[in-house]
Amino acid sequence: MARELWLIPLLPALSSAVLLLLGSRLSRRWISLQACLAVLASLALSAAALVRLLGAANGAPPLSGTLFTWVASGSLSVPASLTFDPLTAVMSLVVTGVGLLIHVYSAGYMAGDRDYSRYFGLLNLFTFFMLVLVMASSIVLMFVGWEGVGLCSYLLIGFWFEKPAAARAGMKAFIVTRVGDAAFVLGMLTLVAAVGGPEFARINAAAAAGGLAPWLATLAPVLLFAGAAGKSAQVPLYVWLPDAMEGPTPVSALIHAATMVTAGVYMVARLNGLYSASAVAGPLVASVGAVTAVFAASLALVQTDIKKVLAYSTISQLGYMFIGCGVGAYGAGIFHLVTHAFFKGLLFLAAGSVIHALSGEQDIRKMGGLRRRLPRTFPAFFVAALAISGIPFLSGFFSKDAILTSAYEGGHLAVWLLGLLAAVMTAFYIFRLVFLIFFGEERTDAEVRRHIHESPPVMTVPLAVLAVLSALGGLIGLPAVFGERADLLGRFLAPVLKAAEAPPAAVEWNLILVSTTAAAGGLFLAFLFYLRYPGTPARLAARWPFLYRTLIGKYYVDEFYDAVFVRPLVRGSELVYASFDLAVIDGALNGSAAAAQAAGRGASRLQTGRIKDYALAFLLGAVLFLGFILAWKA
């Protein structure tokens, strides 16, 4: 298995090409079947590669396959080369596994859409680029996937492009992430030039050996992280993700929750040698992660659109992953990435099922009491909510705990406290959703209420599978207190990401107790606010109207960016265009042309046609000429 590795991404690419080019001639059933089969084949091949990897001797080099040399010019040479090591194995299984479930779900969710083949073509194309991203053995090829998923994200957010809001959101997503990508490109190319090649292994080795100039060792990871902050929606570049909810809900689940937005986390983990070698990069990553975790969670508290709550929740959870990577617990970051893919994918799909049932309603104030009306969706959502809150023994509990423990153990107390605060908020906002959607009185519109129905099996089966994974997925990464060899994922990833030092058992238990209390506290608060005393939120809002308005206004960050960046840039350019490009440059040009014309016209006036004028001129000239000669001689 070497060049065959390329089949894993190329099968979805091939399927995508067929769907996008010939889609109009295929039956709907065939379209969804082909799209799902392509991803299934990738999943199977990834699993086969995993088996090979597990069977390989300890210390054996990872699987890799090169197709050809893609770019070769001078000292820059980029092979089209994939690698399959433990980290790639985890990522590609998540991408194809969760991806397959979402493909299946989409067959039901998008059943009535007129652009069925474009949808599945783009979804397959996304899978291709995402697999290139996680399998690339060089940073430049990873960037191909990185930009490619961005493109698919743009096209899928704006899938219903006739809706102006959707078109605008897609554009915003692309441009905002490109701001980060510009920095990424600088960092990437500088690094490649410094270490003499684009391979991850080379970069990590050079950084670990101290082979980078000090300024570069600091600057490169920071620039790359700017790209990660764009792609993974961290402060200050997170603003595109909430708007991205304009896309179809399965797209939000796949791209804007489970896979693409985690690319930044993956990149940092992949370049762990580089990030560990810098004294600045790690703390920066952890701080940005911690701030984002709290910041976004606070916004999730008051949102009334079900998908917007989940979007801010995703931003916040991505912050957790960066905390893990920033404090050096890359394995914990990746662990949370995996469990988050399960439970956040599930939350989105379940939300999609609710929206589907309510004929498109997304406002949680117009839901309520749906527990019995949606008997399959409700338990799925509930399990995912428990998992994300960090209720013991569900998946999110273990991964969040691994991150917080590492932060605490690494001495990053402020980061740990922020993480804990975000944990309380997480449990609160997610159970706010649970209580408002599934409990209490039915607040649905009468018209909507008549049509409420549970989703078909093609949608609920993926929910069930993800619910099982959300519940049990944490067992792959048990903390050390459950035994030295309990952390399966950590041991599997050890060749790539060195495992974090486990704290003493007593400390570990205490930390578990603290974070469990935080989760339970948040949950209980939500219970008080939204079930026991439902008038509380309104009273609080009335008590602190400024705080409430700021939260509802999303801290006015969008308005700030608009006023400080977008508007001045456009207005300024308009001004420069009118006053400089047209007036000064062109004006000078046309002016000189006019001057030449005027001069010509003036000169032509000398040509009067009257003999006596010419005679006078002749005489004047002769006198001047003679005078000049005489003066010169004298």
Partner 1 sequence: MSVPILTCLTFLPLAGGLLLIFLPRDRVREARATALVFSLAALALALVVYARFDGATGAAQFVERAPWLGRGLNYHIGVDGLSLFLVLLTAFLTPVALLSSWRAVTDRVREFSFFMLLLETGVVGVFVSLNLFLFYVFWEAMLIPMYFLIGIWGGRRRVYATTKFVLFTMFGSLLMLVGIFVLYARANPTAAGPSLAFQDLYRLTLPPGVQTWLFLAFALAFAIKVPLFPLHTWLPDAHVEAPTAGSVLLAAVLLKMGAYGFLRLGLPLFPDAARTFLPALSVLAVIGIIYGGLMALVQKDMKSLVAYSSVSHMGLIMLALFALNFESTEGALFQMVNHGLSTGALFLCVGVLYERGHTRLIADYGGVGRRMPVFSAVFLIAMLSSMGLPGLNGFVGEVLCLFGVLAANKVLAALAVTTTVLSAAYLLWLFRRVMHGPALSERVLGLKDMDARERLVLVPVVALMFWLGLFPGTVLRKMDASVARYLELVRTKPAARTVASAAVRPVTPPPQSSGAATIVGSAMAEEGR
Residues that bind partner 1 (CB under 8 A): 20, 68-76, 140, 143-144, 147-148, 151, 154, 158, 161-162, 164, 167-168, 170-171, 174-175, 178-179, 181-183, 185-186, 189-190, 192-193, 569-570, 572-574, 576-577, 581, 585-586, 589, 593
How do 63-73 and 76-84 pair as beta strands? antiparallel
Whether 393 contacts 339, CB under 8 Å: no
State the minimum distance, in angstroms, from the CB of residue 598 to partner 1.
Answer: 16
State the minimum distance, in angstroms, from the CB of residue 334 to partner 1.
Answer: 25
Query: Of 255 and 327, which CB lies nearer to partner 1 in the complex structure?
Result: 255
Whether 137 contacts 2, CB under 8 Å: no
Residue 456 tokens, joined = 């078909």
State the minimum distance, in angstroms, from the CB of residue 237 to partner 1.
Answer: 12
Query: Of 80 and 277, which CB lies nearer to partner 1 in the complex structure?
Result: 80
- The conformation of residue 585, written as its DSSP 8-state character, comes to I
Query: Of 562 and 581, which CB lies nearer to partner 1 in the complex structure?
Result: 581
The sign of the torsion formed by the CA atoms of 132, 134, 137, 140 equals: positive
Residue 534 CA to its chain's centroid (Å):
35
In Å, the largest CA–CA distance within the chain is 119
Query: Of 175 and 620, which CB lies nearer to partner 1 in the complex structure?
Result: 175
Residue 232 tokens, joined = 């993974």
State the minimum distance, in angstroms, from the CB of residue 570 to partner 1.
Answer: 6
Query: Of 144 and 301, which CB lies nearer to partner 1 in the complex structure?
Result: 144
Whether 94 contacts 338, CB under 8 Å: yes
State the minimum distance, in angstroms, from the CB of residue 45 to partner 1.
Answer: 22
Residue 210, phi-psi category: left (phi > 0), alpha (psi -120 to 50), beta (remainder): left
Residue 254 CA to its chain's centroid (Å):
11
Query: Of 70 and 527, which CB lies nearer to partner 1 in the complex structure?
Result: 70
Query: Of 182 and 421, which CB lies nearer to partner 1 in the complex structure?
Result: 182
Query: Of 147 and 508, which CB lies nearer to partner 1 in the complex structure?
Result: 147
Q: Which residues contact residue 200 at a Cβ distance below 8 angstroms, ignoring those fewer than 6 apart? A: 83, 137, 138, 139, 142, 270, 271
Measured CA to CA, the distance from residue 524 to residue 539 in angstroms comes to 18
CB atoms < 10 A from the CB of 99, how many? 31
State the minimum distance, in angstroms, from the CB of residue 586 to partner 1.
Answer: 5
Query: Of 482 and 577, which CB lies nearer to partner 1 in the complex structure?
Result: 577
Amino acid identity for residue 37 in this structure: L
Residue 43 tokens, joined = 């999943």
Could you tell me where the DSSP H helices lie in 209-329? 214-231, 240-243, 249-253, 263-270, 272-277, 281-300, 306-326
State the minimum distance, in angstroms, from the CB of residue 276 to partner 1.
Answer: 25
State the minimum distance, in angstroms, from the CB of residue 230 to partner 1.
Answer: 10
Measured CA to CA, the distance from residue 247 to residue 362 in angstroms comes to 13
State the minimum distance, in angstroms, from the CB of residue 266 to partner 1.
Answer: 17
